[in-house]
Amino acid sequence: MKKYTYTEKKDTRSGFGAGLHEAGKKNENVVALCADLVGSLKMDAFIKDFPERFTQVGIAEANMIGIAAGMTIGGKIPFTGTFANFSTGRVYDQIRQSVAYSNKNVKICASHAGLTLGEDGATHQILEDIGLMKMLPGMVVINPCDYNQTKAATMAIAEYEGPVYLRFGRPVIPVFTDPDQKFEIGKAWMVNEGTDVTIIATGHMVWKAIEAGEKLAELGIDAEIINIHTIKPLDDEAILKSVKKTGCVVTCEEHNKFGGLGESVARLLTTELPTPQEFVATNDTFGESGTPDQLMSKYGLDAVNIVEAVQKVIGRKK
Amino acid sequence: MKHTIKELEDIASQIRRDIVRMVHGCQSGHPGASLGCADFFTALYFEVLNHKTDFTMEGAGEDLFFLSNGHISPVWYSTLAHAGYFDKSELATFRKLDSRLQGHPTTHEHLPGIRIASGSLGQGLSVAIGAALAKKLNGDKSHIFALLGDGELQEGQNWEAAMFAPFNKVDHLIASIDYNGQQIDGPTSKVLALDSLQAKFEAFGWHVINTDGNDMQAIVEGLHYAKTLTGKGKPILNLMSTQMGAGVDYMMGTHKWHGTAPNDEQLAAALAQLPETLGDY
Ligand SMILES: Cc1ncc(C[n+]2csc(CCOP(=O)(O)OP(=O)(O)O)c2C)c(N)n1
């Protein structure tokens, strides 16, 4: 198992803030909108340097999506910012009609996704957003795994023409990816090459997959770990190549197993290469209040859950 | 003026013929408010709007128009065709398979003149504001026009937008309300009364004007006047009274023709009241 270390922990939303600032410096058409959550979305640096390119919309997410769609008509590249729940479920029809169907170059940037939002509880912890967004024709869906990857993804989507959903989170987590990485939309990242099982992880679950990989190595299991940061379009080729080699797969996401990354992988495999698969994901449930660590543990999203799923899926191999 | 009032009225008469024929042709669509807004569309596209029929999405240096109540697509399509955006023969494809003239307006089929999809109500004012903000950033002093239904104002997003625009001095925006007092289930006064729209919008900080949307002279003057009010720190709201079904006697004064197609006999009765001025498609 390849060794991954980290010297600091940071939140992915700060990676978004840094990436937005960089994208703003590079391209004067980049504009930002926020619905009364500037601090949470780490937009301060952008706002400080480009006040005229920032729009405070107030607590009016539907209006924010509509305004963003309208701004693209004048050649702007709007990044909207609010919590994941209010970025998706709250404004689904606005995104559907004014952004996706109209094919507008809006970047819907969503913080505090999943259980790790923590103490605010289930009203704020959306576990359905990947499903909602990936079902929209033409929508790109990205869930990066650490500060550096989120920063790189933010800069990359500014250069991509078309609607994007970018999902990130609140807690500080290890920073373990390359600070100078080039982010390629739709391209999987090989975290560790292995032969016994393919672990496919997204977002906060990538570090947990690495922890699981280390535990599995101790048990004599050689896990291949792939980071799928872009859930749509899915890197079919990378997944099929790996699964051909390992013959079984475990998908890991901080999201409902209904509608998430795991289902996208299952759809691919069931048509191309039927393979035993286990899902590390929440199981058709809402979240609740607690610390991020407590919640990840209670809802079965820890390294130990990945290890168990791997053992189970290997047992199902023919 | 580019046209006389008589010329504009003739254009509106042809647009009304097109509307009833289009809706009859596919036995679906929304004739009521389309007819009611025919004078507005004529005044806007043939007299007021600074626009090019050589369509670009951005429309730099041009006035832009957004239709929030997308169900009245027939009046918009006919207007765009007669203004020269595409050939009027295409009107015959309205709501039919593989047509660019979808039931509700969309950019998806790349019909010239359309910049955003609408149909799900309540979204157009926000989009128009966004387009206005982009023009401001681009140093483009052109105007943004929008049309909304009155029943549509029951959607909350409109009031988010209504609050936003004056606070942010979106003052090159002229939003018109098709104040016909009707919606699907009946008169707005019975479904969910709008009561004193003027006071509501003024309280939000809009400059409100009132026009008669079925009097060509009045609507042309009203829209020109609205333009003179722009750039002064406030968005403009044109509270435009119209008759649903205007121009076809049996369709007027009721919500019944909001979304019903005429049969052959009814079509003939309607066309008898609407002179063919520019030639049917
Ligand atoms: C969000 C949404 N809800 C419901 C509808 C169905 N609908 C289409 S038109 C309409 C009535 C609109 O009333 P108004 O804006 O007054 O338009 P008019 O009746 O004058 O054409 C409704 C409810 C819709 N298109 N969008």
Scan for tokens 């010297």, then name that residue: A7
Tally of residues, chain B: 281
State the pLDDT confidence band at A60, using cuts at 50, 70 and 90: very high
| Mean pLDDT of all residues belonging to chain B | 98
> Matching CATH topology for A10-174 and A189-315?
yes
Across B85-93, average pLDDT = 98
Our CA-based measurement puts residue B88 at a distance from the nearest CA of chain A, in whole angstroms, of 24
What pLDDT was estimated at residue B248?
98
DSSP label at A315? H
Q: Which residues of A touch B119 (CB under 8 A)?
A: 97
The predicted model gives A218-236 an average pLDDT of 98
Q: Which two tokens stand for residue B129?
A: 């504001």
| pLDDT over threshold 80, residue A63 | yes
CA of A213, closest CA in chain B: separation in Å?
A: 46
Q: Enumerate the domain spans of chain B.
A: 5-273
B119/A70 Cβ within 8 A: no
pLDDT at B235 over 90: yes
* Mean pLDDT value of segment A272-299: 98
**Domain A189-315: CATH class, spelled out:** alpha beta
Q: And the tokens for A136?
A: 């929209």
B38 with B247: CB under 8 angstroms?
A: yes
- pLDDT of residue B1 exceeding 90, the answer is no
Task: Report how far Cα B216 is from the mean position of its chain's Cα atoms.
Answer: 14
pLDDT (tens digit per residue) in A138-149: 999 999 999 999
Domain spans of chain A, in order of start: 10-174, 189-315
**A278 has which bridge partners?**
A250
- Asked if the C-beta of B162 comes within 8 angstroms of chain A's C-beta atoms, the answer is no
Does residue B253 surpass a pLDDT of 90?
Answer: no
Residue B169 with chain A: CB contacts under 8 Å: none
Q: Is the pTM of this model over 0.90?
A: yes
Nearest-CA residue of chain A relative to B156?
Answer: A62
pLDDT tier at A193 (50, 70, 90 boundaries)?
very high
Distance B183 CA to ligand 1 centre (A): 6
How many whole angstroms separate alpha carbon A206 and alpha carbon A190? 11
Please compute the mean of the pLDDT values over residues A208-214 and round it to a whole number.
98
A150-163 pLDDT per residue, tens: 999 999 999 999 99
Q: What is the pLDDT of residues B128-186, one digit of tens each?
A: 999 999 999 999 999 999 999 999 999 999 999 999 999 999 999 999 999 999 999 99
How much is the pLDDT for A196?
98
Calculate what percentage of chain A has a pLDDT beyond 70. Answer: 100
| A62/B132 CB distance under 8 A | no
- Residues B165/B235, Cβ–Cβ less than 8 Å: yes
For A10-174, CATH number out of 1.10.3720.10, 3.40.50.970, 3.40.50.300, 3.40.640.10 equals 3.40.50.970
Residues A69-120 pLDDT 10s: 999 999 999 999 999 999 999 999 999 999 999 999 999 999 999 999 999 9
Domain B5-273 in CATH: superfamily?
Thiamin diphosphate (ThDP)-binding fold, Pyr/PP domains (3.40.50.970)
* CA distances for B280 relative to A54, A164, B92, B276, angstroms: 49, 44, 10, 7
pLDDT tens, B36-46? 999 999 999 99
Q: How confident is the model at residue A176 (pLDDT cuts 50, 70, 90)?
A: very high
At residue A182, the pLDDT reads 95
Please name the amino acid found at residue B205.
G
User: Which residue from B261, B262, B206, B266 is spatially nearest to B238, judged by alpha carbons?
Assistant: B206
CA angle centred on B193, ends A91 and B171, rounded to 5°: 60
Cα(B259) to centroid(ligand 1), Å: 10
Q: Is the pLDDT of residue A318 over 90?
A: no
Q: What would the pLDDT profile of B119-128 be if each residue is shown by its tens digit?
A: 999 999 999 9
> Mean pLDDT across the stretch A310-314?
98
